[in-house]
Amino acid sequence: MTPPTGAAGTLESPHTAGTDSPEATGELVRLSPRDAARVLTQLLLPTAAKGPIMRRPTPMKLSERHGWDRHALDLMAELRQRYGDGPVMLNTTARPIALLLTPGDMHRVLGETPDPFTPDTLEKRRALGKFQPHGSLISRGGERRARRRVNEKALQMPRAMHSAAPDVVRRTAEESSATVDRALRHGVLGWDDFGEMWWRAVRRIVLGEAAADDTGLTERLNTLRSAANWSLLRGRQRARRDEFLLRVHRYAFAAEPGTIAHALHEPGLGRPEADPVGQIPHWLFAYEPAGMVTFRALALLAGHPEQAARAVAEAGEAGDPATPRPLPYLRACVRESTRLWHTTPMILRETTEPTRWTGGTMPAGTLVVTYSPWFQRGEFATPHQDSFAPEQWLSGDAEENPALVPFSDGPGRCPGENLVLLTASSWLAGMLAHTDWKVISRPAPRAGEAVPALLDHFTLYLTPRPRAGAG
Ligand code: HEM
């Protein structure tokens, strides 16, 4: 994907960019104190309140009800209009923060990861360190290279079908079918039931059958994730963390073929600095947002009959939902759900040295913020900003649009993307094959209406109806 030409901060190339430009040695544009306060209170704090590592139900509800996300998008549009292409600086007492305003600048930062834009920021280190102290995102230098490589290899990043796909799909089909049965019995499906079944599938997919019913493992992880939400404030939870990691190690060493953990047994991945098993907590943690995305995709389809018809047709093709299938339309629906409600609303980087931009120099130690919803749903996402348009992922239009990167881009791009798409599309196929769904909570995404800026998965409810004639 190529950045658009004309994005102010990227007219010139990295580190040394703009050496001849008179402005390049000056300071970047700084937000007025009033605007800086608005960014803090209308964008950064609400995003943090919702829970960057583990979503919190009350702020999610408040955000949905009071339109916090829409206000943040409006604020970004206003800043872009008044300050130009940025990046713009907020000078806080703690340390400088830069806010990116154009896809060109976002691609520069993602493309020049990890140097000089390291993903290992102070905030992430404190947060993720509570349950994945050796995660690749919070590592630097040779350790980051080795750990990133382990992730790319074990998750088989470029492959649409992981070599474990037959087992991933079988497990997914079994759990999604059990979810439909439960919904039919209860007459309704909410996040509590969906999440419980999704987590069971995740434990089986990642760690194997022995972990299927180990809800305690998920609870331990979630306790650590809740603590991670308070990254800068709460202590390390070391005893809890060690106990959780020990359990993960036990499962990983015993993992059977057909699990993702077993992919770590591949020779050559075990270099000491790589800590292959130490990457698993990130996989478990990141699979939960994948569940949110899948649940919301179901809600989108429930309110969009035209798209649902295509999805149902694909789900019903070739019969057996337990056989790996490409499911391109359902994958596109999952991507679209991720675009509309981004699960990593703030992609953070920290500058390891001063970097030059057309507008001036950004000091070392700056926290660089990509507010993803602005790129996925703001003016750069036209023509589908607020509509459900899975077809844009099939026509190539979305790939052509540099603003649309729900799985990030560059050397820090999500290595789990294909595995997520495989799992989520198979899950949806199972849920749609014989059942129609209707959203009974509000807001309900509906064809012809703007897709809500946030869909709180905690208070989302759907009712199932067996489809007449479906076998
Ligand atoms: C809908 C689900 C998911 C989305 C939208 C997503 C998106 C992302 C994004 C935006 C990043 C970059 C974060 C940053 O730079 O701070 C990332 C990183 C990462 N993701 Fe995902 N992810 C998802 C699920 C998963 C899953 C299920 C796995 C593993 C099974 C996974 C593995 C990773 C890893 C290991 C990294 C760190 C990469 C690095 O250190 O360079 N992700 N993901």
Predicted confidence at residue 265, as pLDDT, reads 86
Report pLDDT for 318. Answer: 65
Nearest CA to 127 among 242, 278, 244, 285? 285
How many alpha carbons lie under 13 Å from residue 78 in its C-beta half-sphere?
Answer: 13
Question: Is the Cβ–Cβ distance between 343 and 292 less than 8 Å?
Answer: yes
Q: For the chain, which ranges sit under pLDDT 50?
A: 1-23
3-state SS class at 89 = strand
- Largest Cα separation within the chain, whole Å, is 71
Only one residue has tokens 């963390």, namely 241
Helix, strand, coil proportions of the chain in percent (round to 5)? 55, 10, 35
Residue nearest to atom 23 of ligand 1 (CA): 286
Please indicate whether residue 263, judged by its CB atom, sits closer than 6 Å to ligand 1: no
Is the distance from the beta carbon of residue 443 to the nearest atom of ligand 1 less than 6 Å? Answer: no
Interval between CA 344 and ligand 1 midpoint (Å): 9
Q: Which atom of ligand 1 is nearest to the CA of 110?
A: 15
Residue type, 42: Q
Q: Is 147 in the pocket of ligand 1 (CB under 6 A)?
A: no
**Residue 148 beta carbon below 6 angstroms from any ligand 1 atom:** yes
Cβ(156) – ligand 1 distance below 6 Å: no
Do the Cβ atoms of 370 and 98 come closer than 8 Å? Answer: no
Q: How many CA atoms lie within 13 A of 328 on its CB side?
A: 6
CA dihedral sign of residues 4, 7, 10, 12: positive
Query: At 251, is the secondary structure helix, strand, or coil?
Result: helix
User: Does the Cβ of 406 fall within 6 Å of ligand 1?
Assistant: yes
Which atom of ligand 1 is closest in space to residue 144's alpha carbon?
Answer: 40
Atom of ligand 1 nearest to the CA of 136: 40
Nearest C-alpha to atom 7 of ligand 1 is from which residue?
407
Dihedral through CA 192, CA 196, CA 199, CA 201, nearest 10? -130
Distance 283 CA to ligand 1 centre (A): 8
Torsion 143-3-326-417 (CA) sign? positive
Closest CA to 333 of 307, 302, 306: 307
Structure tokens that stand for 340 in this block:
């509309």
Look at residue 244 and give its three-state secondary structure.
helix
Q: Considering only CA atoms, give the Rg of the chain.
A: 22
Residue-level pLDDT at 13: 32
Distance of alpha carbon 188 from alpha carbon 447, whole angstroms: 22
As to burial, measured by CB atoms within 10 angstroms (0-12 exposed, 13-18 middle, 19+ buried), residue 4 is middle
Q: Which tokens sit at 372?
A: 């993803």
Task: Take atom 41 of ligand 1 and give the residue whose Cα is closest.
Answer: 412
Using CA atoms, how far apart are residues 122 and 245, in angstroms rounded to an integer? Answer: 22
Identify the pLDDT of residue 233.
59
Q: Which of 208, 74, 169 is nearest to 422 (CA)?
A: 169
Q: Give the Å distance between the CA of 410 and the centre of ligand 1.
A: 12
What is the rounded distance in angstroms from the CA atom of residue 6 to the CA atom of residue 196? 47
Q: Is 435 in the pocket of ligand 1 (CB under 6 A)?
A: no
Q: Whose Cα sits closest to atom 22 in ligand 1?
A: 414
Considering the entire predicted model, what is its pTM?
A: 0.93
242, two tokens = 């060690």
Question: Which letter does DSSP use for residue 434 in this model?
Answer: S
**Does ligand 1 have an atom closer than 6 angstroms to the CB of 344?**
yes
What per-residue confidence (pLDDT) applies to 229?
Answer: 84
Neighbour-count burial for 400-412, b at 16+ CB within 10 Å, e otherwise:
ebbbbbbbbbbbb
CB under 8 Å to 242, separation ≥6 — which residues?
none
What integer pLDDT is reported at residue 92 of this predicted model? 75
DSSP state of 303: T
**Can you tell me which atom of ligand 1 is nearest the CA of 347?**
16
| Contact call for residues 194 and 188 (beta carbons, < 8 A) | no
Q: Whose CA is nearest to atom 32 of ligand 1?
A: 416
Give the separation between CA 306 and CA 303, rounded to whole angstroms: 9
- What pLDDT is stored for residue 471 in this prediction? 56
> Ligand 1 pocket test: which of 53, 292, 414 has the largest number of ligand atoms within 8 Å of its C-beta?
414
Please say whether the beta carbons of 128 and 53 come within 8 A.
yes
In whole angstroms, give the CA distance from residue 99 to residue 347. 11
